[in-house]
Amino acid sequence: GGGYGDPLERDPALVRQDLVRCAVTVEGAFRHYGAVLRPDGSVDEEATRREREGRRQKRLNGVSLASKKAEAGQAVRQVAEYLEEARINGSQVLRCRACHHVLCQAGEDPRKSAARRERPLADAGPWLALPWQGESPHFMLVESICPSCGVLLDVEETLRDS
């Protein structure tokens, strides 16, 4: 399957372990995780950081990355891998856990205010759209991306419009 969480957040050392266990190829490590591995299999940390930063920028179509710090005294509760609920100025909001960008009021769907991007079904893994060489005529992936920092908030499989 597609795994859990934003692939660009996977620890490069764990990607290297996947390579050693033959769970991923060098090409797959780069394609799926943005991990740059040297010919000897070691991780090039700086190249990996640059590659992942570039991919986040690409998700945002060139919008600059913003970083926001948590405000002291805020009540915060994690509600998903990259989402948290916080009380700000007396209002309950959902925000990105990575950069604290407010996506919406608590109780609303944060995907509606996230950047959205359609991807081929095969991007979730090689077996999902095998009969169609990765381009399913019926399904696609829709990624929800934090519009501030580019972290992948959610991926859903959905029917294509007819």
Instruction: Give 1 or 76, the one with higher predicted confidence.
Output: 76
Nearest to 70 by CA among 34, 44, 102, 28: 102
Average model confidence (pLDDT) across the chain:
83
Question: Has residue 162 got a pLDDT over 60?
Answer: no
Amino acid identity of residue 57, one-letter, is Q
pLDDT for 71 equals 54
Instruction: Give 156 or 4, the one with higher predicted confidence.
Output: 156
Tell me the C-alpha distance between 124 and 130, whole Å: 11
Q: How confident is the model at residue 96 (pLDDT cuts 50, 70, 90)?
A: very high
Residue-wise pLDDT tens digits, 15-74: 999 889 888 889 989 988 999 999 888 999 999 999 999 998 888 775 444 444 445 556
Q: For residues 37 and 43, is the Cβ–Cβ distance under 8 A?
A: yes
